Structure 1
């Protein structure tokens, strides 16, 4: 047996180890925009003096049940998917401390690890182990806030208000304090029986919501719908056109109560306390861990979020890994900050501390969202020919700051939905590479969403996130031809791009297995799609292996952590998930995947959810 003091010494030693960062990237060497083909290179690891096998033999003598354990399938079944370069499946995996130390057959690992002393934990029949799952695009604190009121369930405007009223009536402190600002997230006018934007006056149709300060954010996060009293308290509003946003107005020019994108800044939200933020964070963490998520790429890490994450880190080790994308706000009071070192904007690499909080990326917004009509398209919307959406950032500013951030060593992640926005961003990355005079591949610039693409731009794409919840209304918005470029997974992969799968929660659900299901089937949960049970553009489906890599090793690559996370290989962090069914087995139907349970979520070798059997 090993003393607790020895364990603490081991953990301290782990925390002082350096994380190495690869110099591979999504982008190729400088070339013309039309030949912009992202490539992936393979890093070779060389070990001096000792082979890996010799290391295992040298230290196996000292192994005890306290120090190491093995997770193994029964009966020669290879139920551990390592997601290494060869996509190997193995029977057993040995974990010592916070890292994976060995993989192979049970007989081999026992021979290398003093078999009688090795603590073997057997999987149940049909269970498998996969690397810890990453959500490559999500909003952590926003998700926690969205869970207070289930507005997504609203099927009509009236039903949505009834859900809100039930929430108010079930919370006496809110019900009895009519001065309190009530906030919610998730209403979806596009899914209502009459898919039109609501108005402030609609709140007065329900006796409980009438006369209250209410701010509801749309499901896509790019709209807010406010009550009459909130509309009045935030007045006056500008009458001129807003660059990068829209105030919806009636025929007389008066605001109706709905604000899009940058226009949302005219509505002041409620001030959140530390207790509010901590409650939201814990709710997200609980849902993430029970869903098998070990790493989250927070795509909304503004100053408030980053300050909170830093504070939580100072209180102790974070319950899961966070890769934060810092917002760049192009207003006059937010000048370029990429060359500063203040805590809220400093690069966090987690090099020497074993920190679970890292971030070396900046997040910019190119356009709005498809659901609310703000995505920047090359041609007008099919269901609203008066507009083709809008860009949220000045193009000259974009061309200036992107090279600056890249020059200062930042990964640049840009939100782009429409085909016009995506084309502009790819042009911007090409311009940046030419301006810097060297290959920017090592900084792995990303396009967040890359939702609607032209065929030429599919060949230039470097990263993709998202799901297919938009399929039911997308053709109305885009028309029968342009919709073919929406979430064209297969075409993007065939163009040598690298795909990561992110839910964008709370825009979509937090369950990564639902995203896995969607990627390999392109149908809804009930097996339906606009093109029938065969799938929505079925030629764009991913294989199970591609989907698995898209939520494990590829997000690790996208966050510069592929040498430490994303696969179950010797020396990597022991982040893994035990699933109740083998989702990789073709004999397991897609519908069975939706009913697969997460038995355990393990981070640094310890169960953060469930238990290691």
Structure 2
């Protein structure tokens, strides 16, 4: 949830598979489904799924005329489960099947082996006497639709991987890691004028929870005197060196919607919060730097089963980068971009062209991202009442309500989806007020407004999600991070409205899941686990092994749809993505075990066997 301009970087139709169960799934419950880029990735990650493993086929007793397989179209195949209906489609009419059929880049059929063979080749509209080429996953493995992350920061993740700041226990240890990075990079080591940038420090996890200051940089001779800019883990604070601070002078006393931390004499300490981050001077990254960051992110994303990412806040620089990648046919993953809204710029919704399906349907940018408030971790989330641990403040809005009431309907009228970052209960209430006014007499399914995070909600506002048709874009791993300090910050009653997933669902809202990486772990299965257990990976929580407010858990079916068909709906692509249905893009993932039935405490042991995009393996193999 980067908080400044990203570093240069009712009635509504349900999509197929959009129905939800209302009962929370217990951590150990089983599924009740019926049983019957530049630079380009390596060649190993692009192996075509067109090789029939004849010995496996024969050993399983499915003799499929092997003497004629060579005449089968090379871009058509079936993938089947040998031990039951272990392909989860995220489609309500047929939630589990034995086989899927791919023709070219699309799904052509789904059903039992007998059914898809019987319908072949009519299912692809071709006349051929060639048999259907069949692959089998291993016993115990499952197939799910391609996984989506509904809220992440692609280029920022690549930047974060440069210096491992997360996990440091003190400001001094953080600076020591910066020093190691400088000394290991000859270009930086030998030129003290070059900027050093990193991401991931978290003062709430330090031995002594206090804000850092620029003096710590100056205490090390290898680090002192350099321009250093470090982004906090939650993206809502920048910690800078005195060298950068001098370049920013004169520094204003106050910044609306932000804060400049100062010492007892009133001098800036080098920490800038929320909108104040816009003051920080730093150079734009080069195209080559962006390529390197992008490649780092994509490599890890595909290895985790992600086939689509909603990037939550594209700057003009990063949007141009992705557009160029799409135009050159280089995008190895699907990107749904939210263009960052700068309230200091002129309104542009009526003169900027939307991007829809560029680069073979790999890039869409038809939404905007607005920041309403700050973050709970840094005390910037806008609350109705003061913080329990800091009664002097109730956070702050980063944008005035009257501005929201002005820009939201304007963007909607010009056909833009409006996605608003809102953490605190007051921020969520103000944004819902603006949505409610803007949606009067409007077809909400044509606009699909989203609240990004929707973390702290008054109960009355929970009901408005369902009534208005506003999508709740949530991050389950935030819940298991914040549960350790949430009550201290909010108090015993207000904390009940923090990450109240089940309550939001019960009021009829649609939820779509993301991670907010690099703020949290990229692994979508970490989000799946957090959503259904509300436990830390080690099985603990402030409320014990049953989970933190366990009544707010999601079911496994809801969590899977929250990573497949629901993000497709939230990005206007439910007709082409999100479920294993004939005619949709053949994006799917093979997992090493059945996350829908294994004990919850083993879910994080699951590995990705293969990630398939448009029918071709982009990670692993079948």
User: With structure 1 as the length reference, what TM-score do the two structures score?
Assistant: 0.87
What is the deviation of 1:298? 0.5
What is the deviation of 1:179? 1.2
SS in 1 for 2:139: coil
Give yes or no for the alignment of 1:185 onto 2:167. Answer: no
Q: Say which of 407, 417, 425 aligns to 2:413.
A: 407
SS in 2 for 1:548: helix
Q: Say which of 186, 191, 195 aligns to 1:172.
A: 186
Give yes or no for the alignment of 1:448 onto 2:452. Answer: yes
What is the deviation of 1:65? 4.5
Structure 1: runs of 5+ lacking an equivalent: 1-27, 30-38, 45-60
Structure 1 Cα separation of the partners of residues 255 and 232 of structure 2: 20
Give yes or no for the alignment of 1:141 onto 2:149. Answer: no
Distance 1:494 1:210, change over 3 A: same
Distance 1:317 1:63, change over 3 A: farther
| Aligned equivalent of 1:605 | 615
| Aligned equivalent of 1:66 | 74
| Aligned equivalent of 2:567 | 555
Aligned length: 548
Q: Say which of 494, 503, 514 aligns to 1:482.
A: 494
What is the deviation of 1:523? 0.7
Cα deviations by residue, 1:472-503 (Å, 9 ceiling, x for unpaired) = 12222111111111111100000000111110
Q: Say which of 503, 523, 531 aligns to 2:515.
A: 503
What is the deviation of 1:116? 6.4
Q: Say which of 494, 514, 527 aligns to 2:526.
A: 514
| Aligned equivalent of 1:318 | 331
Give yes or no for the alignment of 1:338 onto 2:345. Answer: no
Structure 2 Cα separation of the partners of residues 308 and 354 of structure 1: 16
Structure 1 Cα separation of the partners of residues 485 and 222 of structure 2: 32
What is the deviation of 1:67? 3.3
What is the deviation of 1:397? 1.6
Structure 2 Cα separation of the partners of residues 315 and 173 of structure 1: 30
Structure 1 Cα separation of the partners of residues 575 and 429 of structure 2: 32
| Aligned equivalent of 2:373 | 367
What is the deviation of 1:178? 1.2
What is the deviation of 1:112? 2.0
Structure 1 Cα separation of the partners of residues 182 and 444 of structure 2: 51
What is the deviation of 1:245? 0.6
SS in 1 for 2:173: helix
What is the deviation of 1:227? 1.1
Q: Is the 8 A contact 1:190 1:473 kept in 2?
A: no
What is the deviation of 1:535? 0.6
What is the deviation of 1:317? 4.0
Structure 1 Cα separation of the partners of residues 386 and 552 of structure 2: 25
| Aligned equivalent of 2:251 | 237
| Aligned equivalent of 2:215 | 201
| Aligned equivalent of 1:48 | none
User: More displaced, 160-169 or 112-121?
Assistant: 112-121
Q: Is the 8 A contact 2:236 2:374 kept in 1?
A: yes
Structure 1 Cα separation of the partners of residues 509 and 155 of structure 2: 30
Give yes or no for the alignment of 1:292 onto 2:292. Answer: no
What is the deviation of 1:433? 2.2
Q: Is the 8 A contact 1:317 1:356 kept in 2?
A: no
Q: CA RMSD in A?
A: 1.9
User: More displaced, 139-148 or 589-598?
Assistant: 589-598
SS in 2 for 1:109: helix
| Aligned equivalent of 1:5 | none
Structure 2 Cα separation of the partners of residues 399 and 529 of structure 1: 39
Structure 2 Cα separation of the partners of residues 347 and 578 of structure 1: 33
Give yes or no for the alignment of 1:328 onto 2:319. Answer: no
Structure 2: runs of 5+ lacking an equivalent: 1-9, 18-68, 122-128
Distance 1:43 1:217, change over 3 A: closer
Q: Is the 8 A contact 2:13 2:445 kept in 1?
A: no
Give yes or no for the alignment of 1:282 onto 2:276. Answer: no
What is the deviation of 1:223? 0.4
Q: Is the 8 A contact 1:350 1:358 kept in 2?
A: yes
Q: Is the 8 A contact 2:16 2:574 kept in 1?
A: no
Q: Is the 8 A contact 1:302 1:326 kept in 2?
A: yes
Structure 2 Cα separation of the partners of residues 411 and 166 of structure 1: 43
Q: Say which of 342, 346, 354 aligns to 1:347.
A: 354
What is the deviation of 1:87? 5.5
